[in-house]
Amino acid sequence: MSVSAENREPSLPTGSSGISSDYYKMLTQSDYLRGKITMSIEPNRAKYILRYKDLLERELNVKLSVDPSGLVVIEPKESTSLEQLMKAKEVIEAISYGFDVNTALELKKENYVLLVVNLREYIDKDKINHLIRVKGRIIGEEGRARRTIEELSGAKIVISNWTIAIIGDYESARAAKEAIEMLIRGKQHVTVYKRLQSWRREMRRRKLEELISGRSSIFREDLDVRPEDLGI
């Protein structure tokens, strides 16, 4: 998949981290930065996008031009922000990797990301047998390993020829990516699953602490009610 942009600076992060809110708002409203994006993807995925073109345009607030040969052009509307344009690009990328349209649109959610493991970074392109073995370890018997990683991490995974794409909230996607990289490096499945289970327990503990902390702060605002009175 290749991507090009017209009348647009290099991509900025889709958020205001490190950028003042006023400056970020100015950037997202800039016509210069909201030029169209051209992507070249596999023809079968372009045809899939064509089937859901109306839905994608409505959900992403952009205009899509799709050629069945594999050329996709994303153009902003007058009301399209830079963040929406970058999200549209990410959604189309996700579909190009093999995700269905509903899963790809989850990237609109706050803190959801698309992560990609490029197997070429781990395997020489002429070592096809090695590639088959590695993908077999990640997929597992009847898809069991992939499903287990998805269930434990909460992320969604698509495995294609030389890439493994992951969608989820940032923490879930990162945990799934780490698990996949461990399998690529030859770690045993049981070791990877235990690592994910430990991560899952830690995330639950954090969420519980945040919930208790939030309740305590509410109680402290009312001098007549203390957390210990309710056993918290």
pLDDT digits (tens), the chain, 232 positions? 766 655 444 344 444 345 555 544 544 444 445 588 999 999 999 999 999 999 999 999 999 999 999 999 999 999 999 999 999 999 999 999 999 999 999 999 989 999 999 999 998 877 888 899 999 999 999 999 999 999 999 999 999 989 999 999 999 999 999 999 999 999 999 999 999 999 999 998 988 888 887 665 555 555 454 555 545 4
By the 8 A CB rule, do 182 and 195 touch? yes
pLDDT given for residue 165 in this prediction: 98
Residues 16 and 100 in one domain: yes
According to the model, what pLDDT value does residue 127 have? 81
pLDDT of amino acid 8: 44
220 belongs to a structural domain: no
Instruction: Say if residue 89 is in the same domain as residue 151.
Output: no
Same domain for 56 and 132, yes or no, is no
Mapped onto helix, strand or coil, the DSSP state of residue 165 is: strand
Sheet containing strand 2-5, edge to edge, reads: 2-5, 37-40, 71-76, 62-66
For residue 197, the domain's CATH number is: 3.30.1370.10
Q: What does the pLDDT read at residue 148?
A: 97
Query: Does 124 share its domain with 62?
Result: no
Are 139 and 52 within one domain? no
User: Would 218 be classed as within a structural domain?
Assistant: no
Give the pLDDT score at 218: 53
Decide if 213 is inside a domain: no
Pair 79, 162 in one domain: no
Note whether residue 17 is domain-resident. Answer: yes
Q: Does 132 map to a domain?
A: yes
Sheet of 156-159: strand order equals 112-118, 163-169, 156-159
Three-state DSSP class for 164?
strand
My answer on whether 47 and 136 are in the same domain is: no
- Asked whether residue 163 falls in the same domain as residue 183, the answer is yes
DSSP E strand boundaries for 13-162? 37-40, 62-66, 71-76, 112-118, 156-159
Is there a domain that residue 222 lies in? no
| pTM, 2 dp | 0.77
Among 191, 194, 198, 199, smallest CA distance to 173 is for: 199
Interval 180-227: pLDDT, tens: 999 999 999 999 999 999 999 999 898 888 888 766 555 555 545 455
The answer as to whether 45 is a domain residue is: yes
Kind plus residue range of the DSSP H or E element containing 135 = helix 128-139
Tell me, yes or no, whether 154 and 71 share the same domain.
no
- 157 with 94, same domain: the answer is no
Does any domain span residue 215? no
DSSP string, 4-52: EESS-PSPPPSS-TTS-HHHHHHHHT-TGGG--EEEE--HHHHHHHHHT
Which of 78, 105, 132 delimits the end of a domain? 105
H or E stretch including 192? helix 189-220
Which residues, other chains included, contact 99 with Cβ-Cβ below 8 Å and sequence gap of 6+? 156, 158, 165, 167
Judgement on whether residues 186 and 151 belong to the same structural domain of the protein:
yes
**Amino acid letter for position 13:** P
Q: How many domains does the chain have?
A: 2
Range of the domain at 95: 2-105
Contact 74, 42 (CB under 8 A): no
